[in-house]
Structure formats: structure tokens, C-alpha cells
Amino acid sequence: MVKKSIKQLRQIGLDFYEYLQETNQTSHYDIKVKFNGNAIGFHPVTLAFEFKSDLKSSTSFHIVRFIEAHCMTTMGKELAPVVTYRPQALAVRTRAANFTIPYPIPDFMNALIIALKQQTYYSDRRKDILEAALSWENYAEKFKLMLFLEELQMEVDIQRYNIPNDNQPEATMKKEKKLLVLEVPGVAENRPSVLRGDQLLAYPIGESNKKYRGYVHCVQLDSVKLGFSSELLDIFIEGMKFNIEFIINRLTLRIQHRAAEFAERSALAPVLFPVAPPSPASQQTLPDLKLFDRKLEKNPEQYRAVQHIVAGSSKPAPYLVFGPPGTGKTVTVVEAIKQIEKCKANCHILACAPSNSAADLLCKKIRDHVDVSSVFRMYASSHDPMLACSNLIGNCYEYPEKEKLMEYKIVVTTLITAGRLVSGDIPMGHFTHVFVDESGHAVETECIVPLAGLLHPETGQVVLAGDPKQLGPIIRSPLALKFGMGETRLMTDLPLYQKTNGVSHPAILEIPNELFYDRELQACADEQRNFYCNWEYLPKMNFPVIFHGVTGLDTRESSSPSFFNIAEVEVLMDYVMKLLQTQGKKGLSTLSPKDIGIIAPYRKQVQKIRKALHIVEKKLKPSKDLGGLKVGSVEEFQGQERRVILVSTVRSSPDYVEIDKKFKLGFVKNEKRFNVAITRAKALLIIVGNPLVLRSDPTWARVVQQQLNPEWRHEM
């Protein structure tokens, strides 16, 4: 038996040959390799053996063997996969019963899709509409066709969850109070995602003619909690077996179809396809305003934007508040809403955002300096609703009568939920102003939901805020994407470009400023941005950006398709401990867990990080509650910042990059997700990833290049 280190193996040579001769072994030879190292991660090594018939022979042959070493901490072992990953195959879909539905998919769509995919000659007006540039003349019909394309792709994608499939011949559920819990691996991730309010059909095995409709109440990482009628609950017993078929939620699609139709009926052409204003905005008389947020008065761009919005200088065209991260788009919108509420007695404002979290943020900011009784937060559903001024009464969402609803001066809701105002017959023109924050994160048919049927095309004022360089909408259909469904055209007209970032350190903004904003972004944050310029763990002082290179493994477990990387979790926890142990020392400011955020692209990685944080809590002396430390996806951090941001890129295998691209996951090959992730940090940005994989993407290659010059912290 030979014991050598990896470096020593290269020098075995003649000694090894003589050893074999002396021991006279001919059948097999055991070589024991001892790895000495403390660099966390995966370390592959290639061993090449050269064989000769004798030492003097000029001919030889080689045998190559690959060995690998995994270096991990005790924590890493706790986070390791519990069950080996087994991919889930596509299940067979049963034919649905016939019933009337609004906006049904037309019969011609299948032939149209075949023609579009095969690039064959297909003389059809609809194909011409899809391939033509968007115009007012084809606006409604083109968007309706793209919505049908998207729906068909969603139907294909949702079948991946159906049971039976190759890995799961049947489904069983567990009872939890009045709900049933069904395990669905990967359900929380965009493969595709299943959301609260979605439906499925459960078929008890042995009762082929009986179907029970279930409604999703709660989505967890690998399971969903379902509500069924008492008819099923009364007969349900543990171990009961089912076939499961998921159904897409058509409500959002129906609302968008109606919005496209109503845009045409409401004659919104002056809003959606505006012409140049009769006189330049700079020549208009603007009001003198005393702002609630006095900081904005010191920023000419923001102050001027509020003046123009209050004056309605862009009408009927939308006024766009367009700018990079940290330039104060949301605070500008909120200030404008407050000024309009103060200055215009007869105003009625509808403030919207694509998500509940973004709408909640708007509502919280609006309520400062405004009579709370004049603000109404309208929910359809939310995991963590704002109770103070909303329609959540007890455990139910109640909607006031139309007359009562119209008394509120400010209504805050999501874009899709704004469709309920149209359904409730709120008259056109009642809302004098419609604000859409984070509008670049929504498809255009979502953005027009609060406009079509509600806004008067000539007297109403639309304000859109967003950044096309940040996260856009998730489009599943490649054809719909090809024909422009992912483009928010409203965010490309008449831009007001805010250039001043008052949040982040210049080093953090350097790469996004170069790649996405033509170096026009100006870093003007206060002294807090310098809190970590002299942190002892920085590779370079006064440059608070760290790229920590680590070679881990893309790991999955059980039948969940979600990825995690244990090596990166271990490195992240090491930095979390260093941050908390050094806070308040050596000139550093105090730092609480709520000042730290960790961004990861996959739900399973988020879960592993949260589990690791519980382990770290026990190691800290004195112990500290890390509950305020937010861990989430990029989408959960959009519109938010933290003093310190840590990013886990997860990817260590180039083979999976195409999977990310297909499902709109991950950071590689996704510029917008990259941009949002690295611009969330105010004073310190720590990126953990595999540079060998990341440098294959031009955007990430720039990060690696930055860290190589002059110094780069790595464990490779």
C-alpha cells in the first residue's frame, strides 16, 4: 500500500516501479491518495499512469483515472441530500369535460403554431398580425393571439406536475385540519410555479367517474395545501390514493384579454400611442411645491418629475419615471401621489404594482403624511396582508359597495386585482390619476388593466415607473416572446432618465453602470456607503466588493428539480459569522441581521441557507436571533436594498445553464436578474460562485475580470 499526497504522486516515478518489482505483485496494486486541504468545495484530480514492459523500453501506454475530493464542514454534511435525485417525467393529461369558458382558445391556434414553428408558407391574416410591428390598428388582436400562445405553453408546462408519472404511480395526501397536503416536488419554483388560488382535479383511484376540484391555499417548497369540498373531506382516510391533474389559473389571462379589448373600446390610442406634446415640457409653467420628503428638493431631477406629474404636463401621454436602481423612482412616485392628494381636491388616485409586496411598499410609504382613512389597500389574496387599511376582514376579503369604494381618494392594489374595479362597474374617468410602479416587471396587457375601462383617454393622467434593465415579466411561450410579449413598450417612450443613485457605494455600481447605463449613473450616497471600506476581510481596502470563488456541486435531492450548492452555503455562513462578530469593532458600524440580505436563484438553495442560519445562531457567542436576516430570490428583493448583500450563484456545472435559460431561472445568461441582484447592496457586496462557469457568460465575465485586477479572493 502506497500513501502519497496528490503533489507527491507526480514524483512517484522510478520509486513506484521498484516498489512493484520488490513486492512481486502482479494482479492489482492499491494506491491510497491522501488529500490535505481546507478549501471548501469540490476538487477533481486526474491521475495518469504510464506503463512500460521494462524501464529501458521506448514504448509505453497510459491509463487515466479520475479522482475527486469533497471538502466540507460538519454543517455541510447536515445540508447534504437526504434522498438521491430522480427526475420526474411528463405525465399524461386527460381530456377535460366540455363547458363554456370566456375567451376560449380558438381551433385555429394549433395550425398557426405549427406554421410559426416550421417556418412554412402559411397564408393567414393572424400570422401576418403576429409578425407585424405593434400598432394601434393591430393592438388588441395581436395581444390576444400572444395571450393564447402563452396559455397553450402554460398548459403544456403544468402537466409536469400531474400524477401518475414515471416516478410516482399514484398520489397520497395528508390531512391537516380542514386542508389536504399534497407533495409536489419543485412546485414553488418557476418550472412552472403553482400559486395560491390555482386549481387541480383529484381522481380517487377506483372511482374513474368521480372528480374533486381542489384549490391551492398555500404553496410550500415541495408541497401544496389544498381545500376541497366536504364531500371529499367526509370520506377521506389516510392512505387514500389519487390521480392528480393540475389546471392553469385562467383568471389573469381572462383579465388581460378583456383589458386588450377594452383598450380598443375605450379609445386609449392617445395614451398607448402618444404623439409629441404641442409644446415642450420645459416651456410649461410648473407649480412651486413644498415636498413632504425634503431630500427630493435637493435633487433637481426628482423635484422636476414631481412638478410635471402634478401639472399633468405629459397628458394624454404617460409620464415615465425611468431610472437605474437606487435613483428613487418609488419615492418620486409616492411624493407625486401625496402632492396630488394635497393640491387637487377632486382627485381620485389608483396606485398599482405587479405584485402584492410592491403594492404593500407603495401603500406603506403613501400612508405617511396622508389621512389613513382616505387610503384603501384592496387585496385579492396575499400571504402577509397589511391590515390597517385593507379589505381583509377576519379571514375573508370583503369588497365594499361601489359608492363606498369611490369615496376613497387613493386606492392601492395589484395590476390584476385592479380588474375587479372594472368588473365592479367603476365609471370611466372616476380615477383621475393612475400610477404603475415597477411597470417594467409586467407584460403590457397587465399594465393596461388599470387603464382600460377606468381611465379617460383625454383627461386622465398615467404615470409609469420602472427600469427596463431590471427584471421583466416571465414569458413561457418562446413564440409569444419572439413576437414581443415580453417587451413593455410603454417603458420605452418619452423617458425621464434619473441618473443619481443615492443608495450604493460606487464600487458596487461600477459594473451595472458600465454594462447597462452607459456610465451615466452617478453615485451620490451618504457616508453610510463607506461603512465597510476598511473591513479586514476585504481583498482590497476601500473597494467593498468581494467575489469568493468556490468550486461546489450542483446538487438535487429526491424528486425535486430545484438545485442547491452546499459548498456555497458554507462559505456564505462563514461570511455571516464574520460580519456579525466584527460589527461595532475597529471603526465598523453596528450591524443587525435585518441589515443583511442573501440572494439565491433556487428555492432549494434558499431552504438550505435558512437551515444553515439556524445552525449559525447556536455558534454565535453571544447567541443571536437571525430571524430578521432575509433570504430569498431576486424577485423578492426587487425594489429593496440592504446594507450588506450576499449572492449565491449556485451554478458549478455548465451543463445546467441551458435549463436555467429555459425556465427563466438562475443568474447565468440573464442580464436583468444579474443587474437586480448586484445592485441591492448599499455598503458591501459579497458574491460566491464558480468563476469557471460564470466567466462563460459575458456579463459575469466582467465581474471575474474586475476581481482579478488587482486582487481576487478565491478557493480554487
Q: Do 490 and 553 have their domain in common?
A: no
Give the whole-angstrom CA distance, residue 174 versus residue 501: 51
Distance (Å) of CA 207 to CA 159, 239, 241, 244, 389? 21, 15, 11, 13, 47
Residues 552, 685 within the same domain: yes
491 and 519 in a single domain? The answer is no
* pTM: predicted TM-score of the whole model, two decimal places: 0.74
Place of cell 411561450: 477
The answer on 240 and 115 residing in a single domain is yes
Judge whether residue 689 has pLDDT over 50. yes
Instruction: Give the pLDDT confidence score for residue 88 in this predicted structure.
Output: 55
Q: What is the pLDDT of residues 642-663, one digit of tens each?
A: 999 999 999 887 777 666 665 5
> For the segment 616-636, what is each residue's pLDDT rounded down to a tens digit?
988 887 777 888 899 998 888
Cell 441591492 belongs to residue: 680
Q: 453, 462, 436: which is closest to 314 by C-alpha?
A: 462
- Where residue 711 falls among pLDDT bands split at 50, 70, 90? very low
For residue 282, being part of any structural domain is answered with yes
The counts of H helices and E strands in the chain are 24, 26
The reply to whether 493 and 535 lie within a common domain is no
Of the ranges 2-6, 40-44, 203-207, 654-658, the best mean pLDDT one: 203-207
- Fill in the DSSP letter of residue 594: G
Q: Is residue 174 part of a domain?
A: yes
Q: Which of 15, 46, 71 corresponds to the end of one domain? A: 71
Task: Point out the domain boundary residue: 498, 532, 550.
Answer: 498
Give a yes or no: residue 478 inside a domain.
no
Three-state SS sequence of 171-188: EEEEEECCEEEEECCCCC
Residue 127: count of CB within 10 angstroms of its CB:
16
Provide the pLDDT for residue 1: 35
Note whether 571 and 436 are same-domain residues: no
Regarding whether 453 and 327 lie in a shared domain, the answer is yes
Q: What is the CATH number of the domain that holds 144?
A: 2.40.30.170
Average pLDDT, the chain: 83
pLDDT in the model for residue 495: 46
More confident residue, 220 or 609: 609
> Is 167 inside a domain boundary?
yes
One domain for residues 516 and 490: no
Q: What are phi and psi of 76, to 5 degrees?
A: -60, -40
**Has residue 262 been placed in a domain?**
no
196 domain residue, yes or no: yes
Give the total number of structural domains in the chain.
Answer: 4
Angle 539-543-546 from CA coordinates, rounded to 5°: 50
Q: What is the CATH number of the domain that holds 532?
A: 3.40.50.300
pLDDT surpassing 50 at residue 712 = no
Q: pLDDT class for 21, splitting at 50, 70, 90?
A: low
Q: What is the mean pLDDT of residues 161-184?
A: 88
Residues 309 and 429 placed together within one structural domain of the fold: yes
pLDDT of the residue at 568: 94
**Residue 358 sits in the same domain as residue 456:** yes
Q: Is 619 inside a domain boundary?
A: yes
Distance CA 17, CA 68 (A): 24
664 falls in which pLDDT band (50, 70, 90)?
Answer: low
Lowest mean pLDDT among 57-66, 194-203, 275-284: 275-284
Same domain, 343 and 463: yes
**Statement: residue 496 has pLDDT above 50:** no
- Ranges assigned E (strand) in 410-521: 410-414, 433-436, 461-466, 500-501
| pLDDT(311) > 90 | yes
Asked whether residue 424 carries a pLDDT value surpassing 90, the answer given is yes
The residue among 94 and 464 whose pLDDT is bigger is 464
Residue range(s) defining the domain that contains residue 455: 274-472+486-498
* Same domain membership, residue 598 and residue 620: yes
Q: What pLDDT is stored for residue 87 in this prediction? A: 60
Distance CA 472, CA 526 (A): 30
Kindly state whether residue 479 falls inside one of the protein's structural domains.
no
